[in-house]
Amino acid sequence: MADPKKLFIKTYGCQMNVYDSERMAEAMGADGYVLTEAAEDADMVLINTCHIREKASEKLFSDLGRLKPLKQAKPGLKIGVAGCVAQAEGDEILRRMPLVDLVVGPQAYHRLPEMARSTGQQVDTDFPVEMKFDRLPERKTHRGPTAFLTVQEGCDKFCAFCVVPYTRGAEVSRPVDRILTEARGLVERGVRDITLLGQNVNAYHGAGQNGDYGLARLLREMAGIDGLERLRYTTSHPNDMDDDLIAAHGDLPQLMPYLHLPVQSGSDRILKAMNRKHSAADYLHLVERIRAARPDILLSSDFIVGFPGETDEDHAATLDLIRAVGFGAAFSFKYSARPGTPAAEKPELPEDITNARLYELQALVTSQQRAAQEAMVGREVGVLYEKPGRTAGQMVGKSDHLHAVHVDDPTGKVGELVRVRISAAVTNSLAGERLN
Ligand code: 5AD
Ligand code: SF4
């Protein structure tokens, strides 16, 4: 038998891209490709791109530049560009980079094997009526105790800074039975922790046997799957946190006490300019309700610093909101004008101002992150082992609160869910002792 063809995938951007890369690898696997860790060995290189900020987009062209010598040495090498830059730039990528063979947008991944079999340059950035998920093969090669599962794609919110509504299209939710089938298949393969994904995951409204399901109802169905011990979901919009979903945090033991709930800014003026449709007070009130349902929940958020028109007072209001909430983690980004978005029409702030504000905001959230880690010391938490640690006899996994935890456990196995007493907070992770 001939050697299998080798596929190298590089993934940028969000967790949804990580999930998509896995599904593309499975689709190509059904066509005889196996994954390789080295681009030099590959018969096909696929770059799964992100368009969310300018820096993320630029990576594609520097990566493609680096592939030039490989392609010259191996003319049969196929080079593909997937993801949101593929969607946004389409043919333009082929024009700028003739070494690219295929450009495939996020809604057309089921067509990838067929495109790879064809000769000549191929582009597919359509938004077909049928969902790609219905055409992709089962997840027979997934490894490890944790998995992502996309339940919803696209966004109808049109925040003024964001390209997602243009690159990923309108909100679409997968039907409940497909999601449950995929989840059961993953559990059969040893998965115990599933994170439901969507650009606007809490806007999920999928068709089920007994009518329309919101995210809370979907989570309740998932909680009924034997062997599925942990559930998470990301990313959520504050305006879609309905009563049922908040209640689920209180009454579903499988739903883990960690929630990523981006607020972007703490200034009502900027929130309005961002078209967020909620105020800082709305967010604080929501946080109160979520904490009333699940007091030990850790919250994380995204912040954009230096949005057009942001003043020192607006920035101070963001810092006030951060102090008022106390986040367990936070991601902060310098505003990056994205072509085609309404905010891109507005004049940008001087870079030194944005840099100084980012520095100040990051110092604050880092101190909160440390405080949240230190508050775990002495507590008993669940830890799902994901891999052996760097030192012999050590296992590493995630706690219920999504902290990385190192445990000395020479007999520990990947996939075990154990009780751990946290003994120390070290940089970016925790250490603990196994209790059971
Ligand atoms: N500039 C900077 N950050 C952005 N994000 C989205 N669009 C932009 C942009 N144009 C951030 C938001 C979002 C996260 C995924 O990326 O904070 O929540
Ligand atoms: Fe990047 Fe957003 Fe596309 Fe994810 S959905 S790849 S974060 S632009």
Same domain, 65 and 109: yes
What residue ranges line ligand 1, CB within 6 angstroms? 52-53, 161-162, 262, 264, 302, 304, 333, 335-336, 338
Does residue 347 share a domain with residue 272? Answer: yes
For residue 9, name the pLDDT band (cuts at 50, 70, 90). Answer: very high
Per-residue confidence (pLDDT) for residue 310, from 0 to 100: 98
The alpha carbon dihedral of 379, 383, 388, 390 has a sign of: negative
The verdict on 15 and 66 lying in the same domain is yes
% of the chain residues with pLDDT over 90 = 90
Rounded CA-CA distance 402/408 in Å is: 19
Model confidence at 127, pLDDT cuts 50, 70, 90, reads confident
Is residue 10 located within the same domain as residue 119?
Answer: yes
Pair (215, 292) in one structural domain: no
* Average pLDDT, rounded, for the chain: 95
Same domain, 61 and 107: yes
Ligand 1 atom closest to the Cα of residue 343 is 10
The predicted model gives 290-319 an average pLDDT of 98
Say what angle helices 243-251 and 215-223 make with each other, to 10 degrees. Answer: 20
pLDDT for 359: 98
Confidence of residue 131 (pLDDT cuts 50, 70, 90): confident
For residue 281, pLDDT over 70 is answered with yes
The band of 28, judged by pLDDT with boundaries at 50, 70 and 90, is very high
Give me the number of domains the chain comprises.
4
Note whether residue 422 is domain-resident: yes
Write down which residue in 89, 124, 159 finishes a domain. 124
Residue 51 CB–ligand 2 contact under 6 Å = yes
State the distance from the centre of ligand 2 to the C-alpha of 52, rounded, in angstroms: 5
Q: What is the CATH number of the domain that holds 269?
A: 3.30.750.200
Residue 135 lies in a domain: no
Within a 10 A sphere around the Cβ of 75, how many other Cβ atoms?
A: 7
Q: What is the mean pLDDT of residues 131-160?
A: 90
Q: Which pLDDT band holds residue 244 (cuts at 50, 70, 90)?
A: very high
Residue 46 is which amino acid? L
Q: What is the pTM of this model?
A: 0.95
* Gap from CA of 164 to ligand 2 centroid (Å): 6
89-115 residues labelled b (16+ CB within 10 A) or e (exposed): bbeebbeebeebbbbbbbbbbbbbbeb
Residue 337 CA: nearest ligand 1 atom is: 10
Are residue 403 and residue 344 in the same domain, yes or no? no
Q: Is residue 130 part of a domain?
A: no
**pLDDT number for residue 257:** 98
For residue 130, what pLDDT is reported? Answer: 65
* Domain of 390, in residue numbers: 380-434
**pLDDT of residue 129 exceeding 70:** no
| 354 & 423 share domain | no
pLDDT at 148: 97
- Domain holding 419: CATH number? 2.40.50.140
Tell me whether residue 134 is in a domain.
no
Q: Which atom of ligand 2 is nearest to the CA of 106?
A: 3
Per-residue b or e along 65-74, where b marks 16 or more CB atoms closer than 10 Å to that residue's CB: eebeebbeee
d(CA 423, CA 401): 16
In this structure, the answer to whether residues 249 and 278 fall within a common structural domain is: no
How does pLDDT run across 88-97, given as a tens digit for each residue? 999 999 999 9
Assess whether pLDDT exceeds 60 at residue 1. no
The closest of 374, 396, 370 to 383, measured between CA atoms, is 396
Element (H, E) at 393: none
Residue 52 falls inside a structural domain? yes
Choice from 14, 18, 161, 168 to test ligand 1 binding pocket (greatest atom count within 8 A of CB): 161
Q: How far is the CA of 168 from the centre of ligand 2 (A)?
A: 8
Q: In this predicted model, what pLDDT tens digit does every residue of 114-126 receive, in sequence order?
A: 999 998 899 999 8
Model confidence at 242, pLDDT cuts 50, 70, 90, reads: very high
